[in-house]
Amino acid sequence: MEKENILIEQIKQKFGDKVELKIQRNKRVIAKTNKDTIEQLLLYEKEKLGYIHLAHISCVDWIEDNKFELVYITWSPKDKINILNKIYINRDNPVAPNIDYIWRQANTYEREIREMFGIEFDGLVGEREFILEDWKDIPPMRKDFDTLSYVKRTYFTRPGREDAQDVRETIANRTGEEIPEFAKKYTR
């Protein structure tokens, strides 16, 4: 893991204790920082270290800690190492820096995260409605979103859905298979 150790030393020299670093496994490094440092870290990775590919931005809802975790996954085609750059933001005021000027495709990830988790990205340009049409509820990927209640409210009582069946019921009727006991509570 020589390349991983060299990478860690390069980031430590530039950012000191502003970034917590560790090797998770072969070809994977974790870099934890804060939202005030993430832009500079990502720019440094891209422009100075050759991590030219933003593979993904993901979000985790740590409701019990009142935080969201944003993970920016960068990759170097030369080193063939992924860096998982992590920041935590407060769930009560979820605002993160916009990085689509570093990688244009970040705009798509940020718009999706904004819609699905309710996180705002400073200066993000793009329609508010991205995937969900006419959405009036809390963002659906938050842990406090009640999916079962939403489904019952939306799909089983809407006019024109009087004959709606649970997917399990449809398959069971077609194949003659029994619905598993654990799944029966989800059928009407």
Express each pLDDT in 123-140 by its tens digit.
998 887 888 888 889 999
SS3 content of the chain, % helix, strand, coil (to 5): 35, 25, 40
**Hey, how many other C-beta atoms are within 10 angstroms of the C-beta on 174?**
8
Report, as an integer, the average pLDDT of 136-164. Answer: 80
pTM attached to this predicted model: 0.82
Query: In this predicted model, what pLDDT tens digit does every residue of 44-99 receive, in sequence order?
Result: 999 999 999 999 999 999 999 999 999 999 999 999 999 999 999 999 999 999 99
Model confidence at 162, pLDDT cuts 50, 70, 90, reads: low
Model confidence at 29, pLDDT cuts 50, 70, 90, reads: very high
Q: What is the C-alpha to C-alpha distance for residues 157 and 153, in angstroms, rounded to an integer?
A: 6
Q: What is the C-alpha to C-alpha distance for residues 145 and 110, in angstroms, rounded to an integer?
A: 20
Across the strands, what pairs with 68?
61, 89
Token pair for residue 19?
A: 């970034």
Which domains does the chain show, CATH number per domain? Answer: 2-131 (3.30.460.80), 146-188 (no CATH)
> Quick one: pLDDT at residue 150?
87
φ/ψ (deg, to 5) at 26: -55, 130
Answer whether residue 156 shows pLDDT above 70. Answer: no
> Quick one: pLDDT at residue 186?
67
Answer whether residue 149 shows pLDDT above 60. Answer: yes
Strand ranges (E), 91-175: 95-97, 120-122
> Quick one: pLDDT at residue 134?
85
SS3 label, residue 5:
helix
